Chains A and B, each alone.
Chain A
Amino acid sequence: MSIENDERTIRCMVAKVGLDGHDRGAHVISRAFRDAGFEVIYSGLHKAPDDIVQAAVQEDIDVLGISILSGAHDTLVPKIMDGLEEYGAKAETLVLVGGVIPEEDRDELEAAGAAAIFGPGTSIEETIDFVRKNVPDR
């Protein structure tokens, strides 16, 4: 049969953390991931870091896309990373951050464990390619 059938379906969660309500990007990327053949779970709005960690662990996801445009990324993203680590899920989860993230904050988020940061203007294709190439082996 086709090669695709041998491949495991990539499981993604697109998450909105904190009080930020900007969900346009989260919805567009969710739909694009689904169209790319990934399985997609959307967290819904206004989630605490811990809600996201719990859901990520429970759903046994491969990819966590965190969408944040409120400027609170420096506090909230590291909290999610710490939570994933606590549950031993950090190594096997590809964490992506999307939104308005100033250049100077990027190193810190990457040091905390974000695999990539996608700012405004990133093409969907680029994001999907990145996921395919970097999704952790299990």
Chain B
Amino acid sequence: MFDEQELAEISQQRESWEAETLDPSLERGERKERFATVSNHEVDRLYTPEDIADLEFDEDLGFPGEPPYTRGPYPTMYRGRTWTMRQFAGFGTAEETNERFHYLIDEGQTGLSTAFDMPSLMGIDSDHPMSEGEVGKEGVAVDTLRDMEILFDGIDIDDVSTSFTINPSAAVIYAMYIALADQQGVPRDEVRGTLQNDMLKEFIAQKEWVIPPEPSLEIVTDTIEFAVEETPKFHPVSISGYHIREAGSTAAQEAAFTLADGFAYVEDCLERGLDVDEFGPLLSFFFNSHNSIFEEVAKFRASRRVYARLMEEWYGADEPESKRMKFHTQTAGQSLTAQQPLNNIVRVTIQALAGVFGGTQSLHTNSFDEALALPSEKAVRVALRTQQIIAEESGAADIVDPMGGSFAIEKLTNEMEAEIMDYLEEIKAMGDGSIRDGVLEGINQGYYHREIQEASYEYQQRVERGEEVVVGVNEYTIEEDTSPELLHVDETTRDRQLERLEQVKADRDDAAVDATLEALSDAIERDENVMPYIVDAVKAYATMGEIMQVFEDHHGAYREEISPV
């Protein structure tokens, strides 16, 4: 962006600044020997045009809404409309969450986001022995289509877009939502929403699974193929770095491992014979936003740039929509402290701002009491208000890519891109040369586990040594009594859920259930797309556990073979 003569002059000026102005100041020293981000990425004192001498404006930055989308996926960004404030909710039984949904819709929210309880997330029923103590705890319990009917009672699903945060059993929830659309007479091509359904990151970080990685990937590809054909307005997978970061990775690892997972899905779809410009637009992403603002902004910008470039160069994407990375952001739960919990409101604000400066399409802000318990209503409201203040009062939403052009941000973006590319090459080299194979090998060989554990242990040691200050934890501590208002989950939830499950089983036609499960089993055997068969099974009121069991019978249960590093 600068000509050589200009750069030479700047270089000369910097040298004389260092000699005359900087050096005398340095005699007094700086606060630290070394300055680094929360990912331990060292940052310089000052950045100048020399640091971004190779940056090409049109190739590397360009304009928002055009490849490589470094400056944002859309031309007007938040001047057109602000990001979607998508707070994730769900608890107890379907009735309680349905009531919450109605409340949110009455408040003007058009996007619903569903949190499921652990048994539903792991694909087992509420009456399974492992479900004890977990039914309705961290989200809503869903065993059969009956629960989904109640969850969406009185809600026209062509009026809302619904996000489902669920993974190993995502195909079952997707099938239930389609069955619901069929019941309501909503054409399938009008169904809008997002399924998390990112199994690769489950094996890498979040650790929810039923069957091994390879057959899990196959089901994800089935859902993508089915979405292309049946529900083109529904995002069948949200490729997630959030959990990778929460597990302790660095920002660069989060971005790189997430992009690798995304490319693994792309390669699997291509192998299936799908057209990249047909399924590409359906892919969406989900990132974490941590405390180091500049590093985070660089991560978001670099991720968009790498994605746009590689979708074209590696996979031949032609349509802009296939190269445009769209993502959801959630603030870093792991950064919240149990000590002096109100301080977390400030952390969340910083992280949310980084997400907005980074150009996120939707945002979930965490509640300040999350290190203590499940969030209370008051804390959830403050979290939402934080987004509204950023959107309406701060001016952060008024300029597109406001940090673009900063020497520091552009340099950090370049460094982030280079780190991402190194990881992608490393992942490729682990397998047969494809990303897909490299990711699967990386899971099997414990590569991700080692990488993430190393980073998280190293971080913990920096905190212990006081190199990483955590306000209220290792500095500025006080004696306090932390007993804020907490959310209480109704203890009768489990009984009510079990009663319903029993009733559904008594009312349904068991022979019809068996027939659909049999058909699903045959489809797996024949290597057919399983989605239509799961839709038939849920319509016969087969339970989530029964359906997932068919997959387990074919592929076996997955067991993680790792030990602490």
Within the complex, the shortest CB–CB distance from B273 to chain A, in Å, comes to: 34
Interface size for A (C-beta < 8 A) is 37
Say which residue of A14, A20, A24, A45 sits within 8 Å of B248 (CB atoms): A24
In the docked arrangement, what's the CA distance between A39 and B301, Å? 45
Interface size for B (C-beta < 8 A) is 49
Say which residue of B118, B134, B464 sits within 8 Å of A123 (CB atoms): B464
Say which residue of A26, A27, A71, A120 sits within 8 Å of B371 (CB atoms): A120
B-binding segment of A55-63, A81-89, A96-104, A130-138: A96-104
Within the complex, the shortest CB–CB distance from B466 to chain A, in Å, comes to: 10
Please state if B337 and A71 are interface contacts (CB–CB under 8 Å): no
Say which residue of A20, A30, A45, A124 sits within 8 Å of B118 (CB atoms): A20
Please state if B138 and A70 are interface contacts (CB–CB under 8 Å): yes
**Most chain-A CB neighbours within 10 Å: which of B138, B372, B460, B470?**
B460
Q: Which residues of B contact A124 (CB under 8 A)?
A: 460, 464
Query: A40 near B: Cβ within 8 Å?
Result: yes
In the docked arrangement, what's the CA distance between A123 and B456, Å? 14
**Most chain-B CB neighbours within 10 Å: which of A27, A34, A120?**
A27
Please state if B337 and A31 are interface contacts (CB–CB under 8 Å): no
Please state if A48 and B130 are interface contacts (CB–CB under 8 Å): yes
Within the complex, the shortest CB–CB distance from A119 to chain B, in Å, comes to: 5
Within the complex, the shortest CB–CB distance from A60 to chain B, in Å, comes to: 19
Q: Which residues of B contact A75 (CB under 8 A)?
A: 132-134
In the docked arrangement, what's the CA distance between A71 and B138, Å? 7
Chain A, residues 1-43, CB within 8 Å of chain B (1/0): the string is 0000000000000100011111110111011101000001010
**Most chain-A CB neighbours within 10 Å: which of B130, B206, B559?**
B130
A residues apposed to B, CB below 8 Å: 14, 18-24, 26-28, 30-32, 34, 40, 42, 44-46, 48, 70-72, 74-76, 100, 102-104, 119-121, 123-125
5 closest A-B pairs by CB: A75-B133, A21-B207, A30-B564, A72-B133, A19-B118
Apart from A46-B122, A71-B138, A72-B132, 16 more pairs, CB < 8 Å? A19-B121, A24-B247, A28-B248, A28-B453, A28-B457, A32-B460, A34-B564, A44-B560, A45-B207, A70-B137, A104-B483, A119-B371, A123-B474, A124-B460, A124-B464, A125-B464
